[in-house]
Structures are given as C-alpha cells and as structure tokens.
A and B are shown apart, each in its own frame.
Chain A
Amino acid sequence: MPATIIINRRSDFIYDIILQPLMLRRSKLCYNMLMVKPPVDEVQLIEYHATSIRRQIIQMLALAGSGHPASSLGLVEVLACLYFNVLRYNPADPNDDQRDLLVMSNGHACPVLYATLAEAGLIDPLELRHLRQYGSRLQGHPERTRLPWLETTSGPLGEGLSQAAGMAYSLRHLDSPNDRRVYCIVSDGELDEGNIWEAVMFAGKYHLANLVTIVDCNDIQLSGRVDQIMPLGDLAQRWRAAGWRVSQVTDGNDATELLTALGNVQGSRRVSKPLALLTHTCPGKGVSFMEHDYHWHGRPLSEAEAGRALAELGVR
C-alpha cells in the first residue's frame, strides 16, 4: 500500500460554491473581491500539495520501472501552482469552453502532470499505478486521445509551443472576446529544437499576450548539462528580441516566487506581448541523490532508491 493518503485539497467552501461554478481562478484577488479570507495560506496550500505530488511521482516511477524522474520532480511546484491557483478549469468537463489551456511540450515529464491531475481530483489516484503499462491511459508520453484532460499529445520535443501558439491565436484573433489563457511548459534542453524558435517568432509577431510560456531551466538534458550539450546564450535576450516579455523566476521550486510571477500575467489584455517565465528549477528536487544530476533525466528508480527517496520525502 502506498504510504501516502491523498487529500485533494483542503476544505474550501467559498471555492466550491462560488469560484469554481463561475470558473474563477483560485487566487487571492478573487477572495479579496468577495471580501473573504482565503481558507488557507496560498503558499502553504501549494507546498502541501507539492509534497504529496512528489511522493506519487516516486511511487509511480518505481512501479513503472522506467520514466523521467529529474524534470518531473523539478516541475512539481509549477504544476501545483497551475492546478491549485492559476488555471481555470471545470472539474466536471475537460472540454469546457471557458477553460484555460495547458500544453506540456516536454512530454517526458508527464509523471508530474499525471500526479497533479490526480492530486486535483481529475483522475483517480489509483490510476497512477498504471503509468506506462499496457492498456493505461497514462502512456509513457502523454496522448490527448487517451486522456481527455490533456490538450495535446507530446513527447517529441519542440512541438508544444507552436500548438499553444495556434490555440492562443485562435482565442485572440478568431474567437469572440475572452480572457482565456494558454500556458505552455517547455524545457531548456528542448530549446535546441528549431521548431521552438519558429514558434517564438510567431507568437511575438501576432502579439499573443494570452500566451504564457514557462521555460523549465533545470540546466540538464538527456546526456549532459545544457551548457555542455548546446549552450543557449542569453535566453532573456533571445526571447525579448522576438517580441516577448521576459521574467526570471530565480527559484522555480519556491511557491511564493512562482505565484508572484504567474500573478503578474494578470492584466495581459492591456499588453500586446506574450510572456516567457524563465523558471530555474532544481532537477530531482526533494531527493538529495537526484538533485542536479543529469543521469536522472531518464533513469528508473530501484526499489531501494525509491525507499530512500520516499524516506527523504517524509514517508516511512
């Protein structure tokens, strides 16, 4: 039996009866407008869920016997912030036509996405045990046609940002006025792909201010450190040159900083540039022997390693 108990979120009456039915974001702003205090501190809420997601990632990867632990663990706070604070979605309908869209371009990090979907109550936590197994909806790399909560199918790197840009173009230039947003996660190693820069120029040209790209700067990729495999130069300058706003998130595992950065997206209807958040995360975060080590990009955990990792995450 997994040692963790899944609690989807702390009880939040206001969210359940007002915010969620109205498809409003679970942000401090929304609570302030209703003149009520958020039920728990936002940061504490994210950290609470992050720990739970991390444990699930270790357990599901150990059971699967393959998969990508480093970036999955590094992105936990990002996904937790998105699903427990930022994204607008309707838990009853993955195709709700007012939802925000999240495109995970670095599909290999899908364990963190699956675990977060379970943490948010969108899929059954028991399903996480079937990661990468025959007949599972949780494919080794995510497939939209098998799991309706996904906005795309990804894995081969470099293709997600273009699709996110196509979605953002549709919302901004073709559809009736709306405040829906498209979030895209790309990894730093993925920036080697030419397709990414085609999309970066496209989003700048068409002023896709409703598009937010979270660049997971974890400094590793499959076979080495990013600066060894292919140095990326001054990333902020590269994105700015193509017409983007750029913000640095110096610690992408710090919920406070992440929430501030993602909160600054607000008001984007008045600006005409897409936003890139260069988010510096720690690959393997939370497990001392994995942190910052590129060998854990795609290495499975043995039972003993999983036990050590879970112990570090407070599971006995």
Chain B
Amino acid sequence: MRLANDFTQGNPVRQSLRHGFGQSLLELARQDERIVALSADLAGSVGLGDFVQEMRHRYIEVGVAEQNLVTVASGLAHMGKIPFAASYASFSPGRNWEQIRTSICLNNQPVRLIGSHAGLNVGADGASHQMLEDIALMRVLPGMVVLAPGDSIEAAQFTRLMAQDSHPSYMRLPRVDLPVYNDPANEYQIGRAYVLRQDDQPVVSVVTTGSMTGNVLLAAQTLSQKGIASEVVHVPTIKPLDQATILGSIGRTKVVVTVEEHQVSGGLGSAIAELVLESDIRPTKFYRIGVNDRFGQSGTATNLWRHYQLDAGGIVEQILALLDN
C-alpha cells in the first residue's frame, strides 16, 4: 500500500469517512437496485443525505427506533435486498445488540450495519454518545465481519466490499474528518491487514485500526526521528483477522503495541493478544493503548485525544515509556 504524497509531506487532505460511505453507497445503488439504506432519524448525520434525496423508496426512515432498524433490515435481506442500516454506534449496536444477534446473526441474514460516531472524537456530545465498546460487542457474534476503515478512501472501498460480501457485517466510522493517508490507487480487501510503514530493523510492531491509523503513522515518523524503528500494521478488518500479516510483523519485532479508539478490553488489542497467545511467537513486550475502563467526556476531538493520550504525541509517549522499561 502506498501512502498519499501530501500525507507523508505533512499537509494531508482531511475528509469525512461518513461522506465516503454515503457517496460510495449512492454510487452502488445507482448500479444495483437491490441496495437499500435505512436509518433511525440520522440520515444526514451518517452521510446518507444525498442518498435520501435521490433514492425514493430505497431510503427507509424508521424513526428513532434502533431495534426496528436492524430487524426491518433483516426482513429486507430475507427478500433478497442488500440493506445498509446506519445509525450512531452508541445506539446501533449499542441499543439493539440482541436483535442483531438473533435476527441477523443466528438468522444468517446479511445485513450491513454502519456504526457512525464511534470513539472519543465525537467530541462535545460527551460520553453517552462516544461509543467505545462496539468492537467488543460485534466481534463476539458468530459470523459477523467487523471493519474499521482509517480514512475516507477506505470507508468508500469497504462500503462496496460489504455490499459484495455475503456475511452480516459491521463498519465503525468516526465523526471527525481524518487525514487521507491512502494513495487513491490502493485497493483494500476484507480479511487482510496491511503493513503501511516498515522502518529498517524495526523494534516495535504498532498494530492499529480505524481512526487511530493516521495518528499512529504520524507517531511512527516521530519515533523514527528519535531513533526507534517501527512497523505500522493497519488492521481494517478486525474480524476475521489476517493472522499471517499480523504474526509476521510481531515475529520480526517481538514487541507489540496495539492502538485503538476503543476500550482496551474486548477490542483490537484483545483480539491481537488472543492471536499471539495461541501462536508460537512469544513477544517480549505487549501493550494495549486505548481507553482503559473509563468513559469519555465533552471536549473537542483534539482535547480528548490529548487527554486520553491517543493523539500522535500521546502514542509516542506511551511507546517510549514501554520501551524504556
């Protein structure tokens, strides 16, 4: 995977992942009439504004009713439609997990779930709206694909890949616009992890996903300037995990740091820990960066990433502290 030139040069374009999702879905819908979108009074907020305008009857408004959102979507999938059910992650899957478990997973209906506003970056709305547990909730469900793209290019590509995939799937999206680190020619796949940066003789593997990948790439630049060589492994598919790529990197460095905008319990860090413990690789150090058994709070995304040490600076500090020990 190539990184975008303006990202490596330090002046990246910032784009909305929600917009990337919404535009990609609209394009798909123009080509495939099975595509339908549903939301729970949040169409504009999840990037479906244009879809609503253009696709009469194929945008379905269920009102503020997330339990109905995913169960209606299950019925649509049963009739051969390709439903995308989008809301804030706090409410879907936060509110309707059991409906997802029974009516989608056990019922094996390939509903595509979009959980927007995942993470602290939601900002001013505060802790109730900052979903930090969705990866944990979704990755325990049998058959569920769990995705976390890191920029708008990935959000658009994974939307198309979800439509093509025959499994129930979940994609978490942040609220804030994020730096576009992908070269437009990059082509992602479900089920793969990617080494986005590899220094000479790396001493640490930084395994990350979603909204943190951009920050981790910046952190890796700083670490490199401080003489610490790293590998950045981006994991946009948290389930199923790309074991070969992830274990390959950890085998080279023997030091693992995971970074995610999620509780450290149950998310990417837990998934990587499980993977490593069941492998033959014995890392000398393993550390999970994320939110540790706390809730978020109001503030700007910048405030909060600083406070919870999830901005590039905070990630550097935590990795340096780990390596010093």
Q: Is the C-beta of A153 less than 8 angstroms from some C-beta in chain B?
A: yes
Q: Are B108 and A198 in contact (CB under 8 A)?
A: no
By a CB distance below 8 angstroms, the chain A residues around B72 are 162-163, 165-166, 169, 199, 202
Q: Are B74 and A170 in contact (CB under 8 A)?
A: no
Q: Are B103 and A152 in contact (CB under 8 A)?
A: yes
By a CB distance below 8 angstroms, the chain B residues around A155 are 102
By a CB distance below 8 angstroms, the chain A residues around B283 are none
C-alpha gap A145/B109 in the complex (Å): 10
Residue on A nearest B81 in the bound complex, by CB: A170
Count the A-B residue pairs with Cβ separation under 8 angstroms: how many? 100
Q: Are A199 and B106 in contact (CB under 8 A)?
A: no
Q: Are B68 and A156 in contact (CB under 8 A)?
A: no
Q: Are B99 and A164 in contact (CB under 8 A)?
A: no
Within 8 A of A (CB), among B56-82: 57-58, 60, 62-63, 65, 67-68, 71-81
C-alpha gap A168/B60 in the complex (Å): 13
C-alpha gap A174/B36 in the complex (Å): 9
Residue on B nearest A175 in the bound complex, by CB: B79
Given contacts A144-B108, A195-B71, contact A151 B103 (CB under 8 A): no
By a CB distance below 8 angstroms, the chain A residues around B83 are 166
Q: Is the C-beta of B107 less than 8 angstroms from some C-beta in chain A?
A: yes
Q: Output the least CB separation between A7 and chain B (Å).
A: 33
By a CB distance below 8 angstroms, the chain B residues around A153 are 102-103, 106-107
Interface size on A, residues (CB 8 A): 32
Q: Is the C-beta of B98 less than 8 angstroms from some C-beta in chain A?
A: yes
By a CB distance below 8 angstroms, the chain B residues around A171 are 79
Residue on B nearest A200 in the bound complex, by CB: B68
Max chain A Cβ within 10 angstroms of own Cβ: one of B75, B81, B106, B107 = B75
C-alpha gap A151/B102 in the complex (Å): 13
By a CB distance below 8 angstroms, the chain A residues around B60 are 169, 206
Q: Is the C-beta of A159 less than 8 angstroms from some C-beta in chain B?
A: yes
By a CB distance below 8 angstroms, the chain A residues around B57 are 173-174
Q: Are B71 and A163 in contact (CB under 8 A)?
A: yes
Give per-residue flags for B182-218: 1 if the beta carbon is below 8 A from chain A beta carbons, else 0: 0000000000000000000000000000000000000
Residue on B nearest A168 in the bound complex, by CB: B75
Within 8 A of B (CB), among A180-223: 194-195, 198-199, 201-202, 205-206
Residue on B nearest A194 in the bound complex, by CB: B67
Residue on A nearest B60 in the bound complex, by CB: A169
C-alpha gap A163/B67 in the complex (Å): 11
C-alpha gap A144/B7 in the complex (Å): 49
Give per-residue flags for A284-304: 1 if the beta carbon is below 8 A from chain B beta carbons, else 0: 000000000000000000000
By a CB distance below 8 angstroms, the chain A residues around B98 are 156
C-alpha gap A159/B79 in the complex (Å): 17
Q: Are A165 and B75 in contact (CB under 8 A)?
A: yes
Residue on B nearest A162 in the bound complex, by CB: B71
C-alpha gap A129/B77 in the complex (Å): 32
Q: Which of B68, B76, B107 contacts A144 (CB 8 A)?
A: B107
Q: Is the C-beta of A167 less than 8 angstroms from some C-beta in chain B?
A: yes
Q: Are B68 and A152 in contact (CB under 8 A)?
A: no
C-alpha gap A162/B36 in the complex (Å): 16
Q: Is the C-beta of A100 less than 8 angstroms from some C-beta in chain B?
A: no
By a CB distance below 8 angstroms, the chain A residues around B63 are 198, 201-202, 205
Q: Is the C-beta of A111 less than 8 angstroms from some C-beta in chain B?
A: no
By a CB distance below 8 angstroms, the chain A residues around B62 are 198, 202
Q: Output the least CB separation between B40 and chain A (Å).
A: 9
Given A158-B67, A206-B60, 8 other A-B residues pairs in contact with their CB atoms under 8 A: A145-B107, A153-B102, A156-B102, A165-B68, A165-B72, A167-B75, A169-B60, A174-B33
Closest 5 CB pairs between A and B? A166-B75, A162-B71, A198-B68, A170-B79, A198-B65
Which B residues lie at the A interface, using CB under 8 A? 33, 36, 57-58, 60, 62-63, 65, 67-68, 71-81, 83, 98-99, 102-103, 106-108
20 contacts between A and B (CB under 8 A): A143-B106, A152-B103, A153-B106, A162-B67, A163-B103, A164-B75, A165-B72, A166-B73, A166-B74, A167-B75, A169-B60, A169-B76, A170-B76, A170-B81, A171-B79, A174-B33, A174-B81, A195-B68, A202-B63, A202-B72
